[in-house]
A and B are shown apart, each in its own frame.
Chain A
């Protein structure tokens, strides 16, 4: 906890404060995911910056930068496809820090999302140090549960980073309590049982999960992800969640741009950003 901050502010960390700022406007925050390295390392930095919007056209409130991994068990086909291409094109762990710096330069905070072996291999303390040095807010860990996270709990305390763990509709009350207790910033509620990817139906298990989280951990912000594809769904989720997390829907126009022969064309991406940013504002 930094001097002078309240316990609630300390719990909200850096990324939670970005969510709270959106909530103060009477709306849910929009969290946008894109992987570093797709369509290329340089191209991904442009896309990540595009997520942040412009003074005229609002973008996401918090950027989630994915670091591609060879065996991404939580990723659906869209994110896998981009990740596989990013790896084939030579993305490295260190590139994520450059991506964090690029996003930070826009004024929008950034968290990193990646599978644990990449952090473990880099060195947990070294990763935390370099992430903090680049201006990153924290880390989302899809395959690390707090039970296995002793080293990360210590390193995130040392460097003042947020740690966002996942909860699921199948999580017991006991696990919701222990997992949220380990979070700083917010908790990532997976809305459906399944991997990432857009779904035509609004996630049905999510409202109940958020309700349980409100009862068991009233002071922690909740982001809901997995399956949000457009502005209307974002509006739906934004009615009960503090933040709406979107990934595959941002990647689809980028993959389409590459198919069309112009991977650097961000027009489609900007349109999706505008649609979703408007969605959370009409919730």
Chain B
């Protein structure tokens, strides 16, 4: 199933043209090299794939459905929108795809402990789940700001047996959780694998996480081709670090007829400076072991990102996205908090599917894109697949606050018509 198909990029030193690479302390190079070797061996090992495929099928619930969305499509110009249901994975998001692969690699390397960073908590929950499944010790680093706004996921990780560390340095969000995980790893690399949750960090993480998420695009291609006899016209996904987007794009990158759209978190608007759109509103720099697009000040100090979505609240982006943007192969736009929350509401009310606020950025982007495409060509009926990367249950507290719901059976309409 396409497993032997070796991608051309990154190059042997981990670069996507000028992006990517390894900007890390020398102390981590041995571990990164070991991981790279183990990953490459595993990619060519049928036993590895058979174990991973079985877990995907019997544990995670893959393949995930491709759901028709007629009532939602009616709000997207003339577009025919299909939802790739990564929210239906075990643990509630696409994060499990990557975690299962890396947890199996951890065991192959003879390591007994994993550490992870998490923003919204989705990756932390997935990592804690895989650790429970494979009997690994697990510690999750999470910014203090995020542990406060995602208390439910903190409790889930603790119930799974993981130790959650609230990181109080810097801006106390995802980037600082990554710094702290990196410091832990430098000191514990003999026994510990750092299970990065997105297509970011030093080589081989961006390539490796893409390969573990590639299954999303492979399934989309099979499902759309099986149903409609052709490939989709547009693939859309939200982009924080960019793992669900990279997974959704991967098999289509070499099909130029398929347009790729990534939607970044525009926060209060890119023009306000309060956003997390590293491609749309950032510049090229080095952060977390990679050269990529980042939010930085004139000196190169990292700027704090802002997004209503904890999972997108990150001042960088995976280097392959920076490369896809620079080459023009993929298009990136920003979606504001307000647009995302509207889309969160719209999809819930039109299809009975409550997306994660992260995913709601892609949903909002598709509404905008569908309408724009209809204006430019009223005859076209573009087939758009949007990745619903996670489910919105974890975001109910945020929604209660945002919409002014009371959570009581009163006359409150929560700002809804």
Residues in chain A within 8 A of chain B (CB atoms): 69-74, 76, 80, 84, 87, 92-93, 116-118, 120-122, 142-145, 147-148, 165-172, 175, 179, 190, 192-195
Contacts and interface: CB of A to CB of B under 8 A. Distances in A.
Contact of B13 (A71, A142, A147, A179): A147
Given A71-B287, A118-B300, A166 B27 contact: yes
A277 to B, nearest CB: 28
Contacts of A179: 26
Given A84-B169, A148-B22, A71 B30 contact: no
Contact of B189 (A69, A166, A175, A193): A193
Nearest to A149: B23
Contact of A71 (B22, B33, B298, B302): B302
User: Which of A118, A169, A192 has the most CB atoms of chain B within a 10 A radius of its CB?
Assistant: A118
B183 A73 contact: yes
| Interface SS, A side | loop
A47 to B, nearest CB: 21
Given A70-B301, A80-B169, A120 B27 contact: no
A142 B25 contact: yes
Interface string B126-150: 0000000000000000000000000
16 contacts: A71-B175, A71-B176, A71-B288, A73-B182, A73-B186, A76-B183, A84-B170, A117-B300, A143-B23, A144-B23, A147-B22, A148-B21, A166-B26, A168-B27, A171-B26, A193-B188
Interface residues of B, number: 36
Nearest to B30: A170
A73 B179 contact: yes
A74 B302 contact: no
A117 B186 contact: no
Given A69-B301, A74-B186, A116 B175 contact: no
Contacts of A166: 25-27
Interface in B290-310: 294, 296, 298-302
B169 A167 contact: no
Given A71-B179, A117-B285, 4 more contacts: A93-B300, A193-B189, A193-B190, A194-B187
A194 B186 contact: yes
Contacts of B52: none
Contacts of B31: 170
A93 B299 contact: yes
A118 B26 contact: no
A117 B289 CA distance: 10
Contacts of B42: none
Interface in B2-35: 13, 21-27, 29-31, 33
A71 B189 contact: no
Contacts of A87: 301
B286 interface: yes
Nearest to B13: A147
Contacts of A167: 26
Contacts of A69: 301
Contacts of B288: 71
Nearest to A188: B26
Contact of A175 (B29, B183, B296): B29
B23 A92 contact: no
B296 A117 contact: yes
Contacts of B188: 193
B202 to A, nearest CB: 10
A123 B288 CA distance: 19
Contacts of A172: 30, 33
Contact of A148 (B23, B175, B296): B23
A263 B181 CA distance: 32
Nearest to B301: A70
A171 B186 contact: no
B26 A72 contact: no
Contacts of B13: 147
Contacts of B29: 145, 168, 170-171, 175
Given A84-B170, A166-B26, A170-B30, A122 B300 contact: yes
Nearest to A115: B286
A169 B28 CA distance: 10
Interface in B161-201: 169-170, 175-176, 179, 182-183, 186-190
Contacts of A195: 183, 186-187
User: Which of B27, B169, B188, B189 has the most CB atoms of chain A within a 10 A radius of its CB?
Assistant: B27
Contacts of B299: 92-93, 118, 121-122
Contact of A118 (B27, B179, B182, B301): B301
Nearest to A172: B30
Nearest to A189: B26
A271 to B, nearest CB: 29
Contacts of B24: 73, 143, 145
